[in-house]
Amino acid sequence: MGKRFRLIEQYFAMLISVLVFGILYNLVVVKPDLTQVAYHSVVPIASSNAALLIVVGIIGATVMPHALFVHSWLSKNKMDLIGRRVKEGTLGSSITDSMKPGNHHPYSTGEIERTRKFHLKETVIALTIASVVNAGILLIATPLYPNTNITTSDFVHGIELLFGPAIAIIFILTLLASGLSSSALGTIAGQVIMEGLIGKHWNVWARRIVTRVINVFPTTFAILLGLDPLSLLVYSQVILSLMIPLPMIPLVYYTSKRKFMAGFVNRRTTLVLAIVTVALIMAFNSFLLYTIFVP
């Protein structure tokens, strides 16, 4: 498992490297107005329901509710790789084991703290990259609107006309890397969630086939019905944003309880920031639903 886990990490690192390089290259070529970028980062404008839809979609594309499950799985696997088992194969993995008479937690406190700090850094870096990439795509598109008649489907052709073929090719490769990483993450999340629900380990290929069929079938069916793929992409991201509170609220609740987390319970500052974050996401989602369903 250790070698396979490191291969997964290297695969994602490669895709993220391509993604970051592509976005940075495109930004250097496009040269957006940094003053306006800084101003509207603090004072955003959503002048229409369509703009609000994009805002909520970006939240879903950045956070992704299924990624929360993968983060927990990554932490556990990282513990298995760098941690020391007290009694291999005989003890449970719940932190509540450390409070049961005659039992011990399979990892030392130092190992847990080390992994917690490491995973915190990884998460901050990953979310920062996701935010920069999403913002970068918007900034790359700014020269096209509203000064031209280029539509979303002609976006790559538009930037090719304005900045040359190199930027278009790199942008396509960047999108390809983004799609591969998102697809792989979705597959891993499906495996993790399925195993957690049924409590059993499936054959790795059986898991992948089942999760990919579940993921691909609705999209394929929608395209066969003649629905616009780009609209489907935006709506899928909005659905992701709407789903964020479902795993996030239990996560905040359980990680704030000493009964489950022992000495690693959320600090008060962390708890307040988590609650505010959940509240803001729910507020955006609620306002979007209000503008859609209330005339």
What integer pLDDT is reported at residue 94 of this predicted model? 43
Asked if residues 27 and 136 have their Cβ atoms less than 8 Å apart, the reply is: yes
Q: 128 or 87: which carries more pLDDT confidence?
A: 128
Q: What is the pLDDT of residues 79-122, one digit of tens each?
A: 766 554 444 444 444 444 443 433 444 566 777 777 788 878 88
Range with the poorest average pLDDT among 148-152, 239-243, 288-292: 148-152
What integer pLDDT is reported at residue 93 of this predicted model? 45
pTM score:
0.75
What integer pLDDT is reported at residue 277 of this predicted model? 92
Percent of the chain residues past pLDDT 90, beyond the cut: 11
Per-residue pLDDT, averaged over 241-260, amounts to 91
Q: What is the pLDDT of residues 3-55, one digit of tens each?
A: 676 777 788 888 888 888 888 888 888 888 888 888 887 777 776 777 788 88
Q: What is the pLDDT of residues 181-216, one digit of tens each?
A: 888 888 788 888 877 777 777 776 777 777 677 777
Q: What is the pLDDT of residues 145-189, one digit of tens each?
A: 665 566 666 778 878 877 888 888 888 888 888 888 888 888 788
pLDDT level of residue 2 (50, 70, 90 thresholds): low
Q: What is the pLDDT of residues 68-77, one digit of tens each?
A: 888 888 777 7
What integer pLDDT is reported at residue 152 of this predicted model? 60
What integer pLDDT is reported at residue 244 of this predicted model? 92
What integer pLDDT is reported at residue 102 of this predicted model? 37
**Per-domain residue ranges of the chain:** 2-293
What integer pLDDT is reported at residue 147 of this predicted model? 59
Q: How many CB atoms lie within 10 A of CB 255?
A: 15
